[in-house]
Amino acid sequence: MFIALTGCGRESQTDESVAQPAQIAEPKTHKLSKPEAHQLAADTLAYFNRYQKALADDAVMNKDALLRVFNGPELQAISQRWPQPFTGDTEAEKYSACQNLIVSANGFAHAKHDMAFNGLPEKNVLPLRKQFKQDMKDCNAALAS
């Protein structure tokens, strides 16, 4: 077996890319204006109002379809419009309950799926349902103010 090492003995040479520190590109964050934040919160609430009955209905047998609703492309598009939390976007932070809906609904939908198909006890689903309902109320209140 023959192993050839290339580049040996070149430790003394400095590579220009090593000699100069690389520029770190800071992502530019777009802060939402008051109308943009309000519209995003309204769009988020409208999405969950549209599908709330499906999530609350224990008779919905197609739990996989329910998961697609709460993980689908429409929700992903809404989710991507929200800025990252704690970035100083004061307008978006006024509607944090609406942004929380994405997380609480997703957790609730997965728990209902696991309850239907994997034997998750209902007592584990109830706190998630309560959180989802509270986030709906809080989002409505934030939009009303």
How does pLDDT run across 64-118, given as a tens digit for each residue?
A: 667 667 777 888 999 999 998 878 888 889 999 999 999 998 888 888 888 888 8
DSSP letter, residue 61: -
How many other CB atoms are found less than 10 A from the CB of residue 113? 17
Domain total in the chain = 1
| Spatial CA neighbour of 81 closest among 63, 117, 91 | 91
Residue range(s) defining the domain that contains residue 97: 31-144
At residue 125 the predicted structure's pLDDT band, cuts being 50, 70 and 90, is: very high
Q: Does the residue 26 lie in any domain?
A: no
What's the confidence (pLDDT) of residue 13? 53
Q: Does the residue 16 lie in any domain?
A: no
Q: Does the residue 15 lie in any domain?
A: no
At residue 27 the predicted structure's pLDDT band, cuts being 50, 70 and 90, is: low
| Spatial CA neighbour of 134 closest among 47, 43, 48, 19 | 48
Query: CB burial class (10 A; 0-12, 13-18, 19+) of residue 45?
Result: buried
Q: At what angle do helices 73-81 and 34-56 cross, to 10 degrees?
A: 150
Q: Does the residue 23 lie in any domain?
A: no
Q: Does the residue 111 lie in any domain?
A: yes
Q: Does the residue 6 lie in any domain?
A: no
User: For the whole prediction, is pTM greater than 0.75?
Assistant: no
Q: Does the residue 62 lie in any domain?
A: yes
Q: How many residues appear in the chain?
A: 145
At residue 12 the predicted structure's pLDDT band, cuts being 50, 70 and 90, is: low
Q: Kindly tell me if the per-residue pLDDT of 51 is higher than 60.
A: yes
Q: Kindly tell me if the per-residue pLDDT of 132 is higher than 70.
A: yes
Q: How far apart are CA 63 and CA 86, in angstroms?
A: 34
DSSP alpha helices (H): ranges in the chain?
A: 16-19, 34-56, 63-71, 73-81, 90-93, 96-118, 122-144
Q: Does the residue 121 lie in any domain?
A: yes
